[in-house]
A and B are shown apart, each in its own frame.
Chain A
Amino acid sequence: MRYPILLILLLTALLVILDARADDLPIGYVKTLVGEASITTAGTKLKADVGSPVYQGSLLQTGSKSSMGVTFKDETVMSFGADTTFSVDEYLYAPAQGKLKLGSKLTKGSLNYVSGVIAKLKPDAVSITTPSGVIGVRGTQFLVKVEE
């Protein structure tokens, strides 16, 4: 009886490790940058440059008179205006397994969003949370501004 339990524990541990490894892969890259911006991932804040990777859980911040553009693996394209705080809380892009999710948060600033494959394949998988509500996306382009 013990062996199946051990096996399940081992498999679970292995899955956790594999999952953690998957999380380590970039989900997108910075393509445009004007002024100052940063990317904070797992508590480490780095100055953003063109070519900088973005990860699941990354917090993106732009300074005053600054802007930044990011292209994600699924071809979602986003750009941010000045004084913006945005985080990618959940990002899953494995179309073959049907794993599709883009959960993000715009705390302040502005965003230009162009949908990618995730929104095309699974429309209700994309959401952008703001301090006062939630934006659900059904494949399109839009602008959003959040001012405190």
Chain B
Amino acid sequence: MIDARLECGARAGGLLSRAAMLIVGLALFALSGCASTPKSYVVLLPSPDGTVGKVIVSGARGEQVLDKAGQAAATDGSAIAAPPGQPQLDKDFSATIAARPKLPVRYLLYFSTGTSLTNDSLLLIPQIIAEATSRSSIDISVIGHTDTVMTDAYNEQLSLGRANAVVELLKAKGLNANAHVSSIAIESHGERNLLIPTPDNTFEPRNRRVEVSIR
């Protein structure tokens, strides 16, 4: 607290002795409402998609709900009179924010029959390779799905076949040769995870898909 007040007062205090500065600082703090930021605090930011979610900070000193961008609370659950300014945020978080990895990207590839991709989806393959190559290190998940035509067991195999076909295609087009791939995880969800909910034995091209996630 004292540190923050000193810092806050120092801007107005000039070249005063430390003790005098503390007094002036405290007076300025009281008069100007120059709010101190606690040492340990949480600040809500908008999500990368622009929406603003919610954070609940609870501790021995209470509970604060943050639901507006820029709102802050002490980590012990006490309220902060005024949110920390940009200079404070830069000082505390600029390196942290700069270290944020590129956000993951997902692609949906669709199938005409069996394990053959539609022409539109084939065109996405070079884009996926380019995205993978643009990142310094990636891990990938490839999840196969089917529609509800045929049996569960058949579809488990078919969706696995689809996921494998996509992995083979990505490799054939130079995925591993060009990108730094930590791992490729293949999953088969059969008809258990429909994109478009349908009754059993329903032909639905949008459910015949493979989801590729580049992280």
* A139 adjacent to B40 (CB under 8 Å): no
Return A19 CB to nearest CB of chain B, in Å.
18
Output the nearest chain A residue to B77 by Cβ-Cβ distance: A133
* A133 adjacent to B48 (CB under 8 Å): no
* B96 adjacent to A81 (CB under 8 Å): yes
Q: In the complex, what distance in Å separates the CA atom of A32 from the CA atom of B96?
A: 11
B11 near A: Cβ within 8 Å? no
* B100 adjacent to A32 (CB under 8 Å): yes
Contact with A67, one of B54, B95, B137 (Cβ below 8 angstroms): B95
Residue of B99, B100, B180 most packed against chain A (CB within 10 A): B99
Interface residues on A, range: 35 or more
Q: In the complex, what distance in Å separates the CA atom of A119 from the CA atom of B61?
A: 26
Contacts of B61 in A (CB 8 A): 132-133
Contacts of A81 in B (CB 8 A): 92-93, 95-96, 99
Task: Kindly supply a per-residue 1/0 record for chain A positions 107-124, scoring 1 wherever the CB is within 8 Å of any chain B CB and 0 otherwise.
Answer: 000111011100100000
Among the 9-residue stretches B19-27, B101-109, B119-127, the one with 4 or more Cβ atoms under 8 Å from chain A is B101-109
Task: Kindly supply a per-residue 1/0 record for chain B positions 79-121, scoring 1 wherever the CB is within 8 Å of any chain A CB and 0 otherwise.
Answer: 0000000000100110111111111100000000000000000
Contacts of A33 in B (CB 8 A): 99
Contacts of A134 in B (CB 8 A): 57-59
Q: Which residues of B contact A (CB under 8 A)?
A: 39-48, 51-61, 66, 74-77, 89, 92-93, 95-104, 135-137, 139, 141, 180, 182-183, 185, 189, 192-193, 213, 215
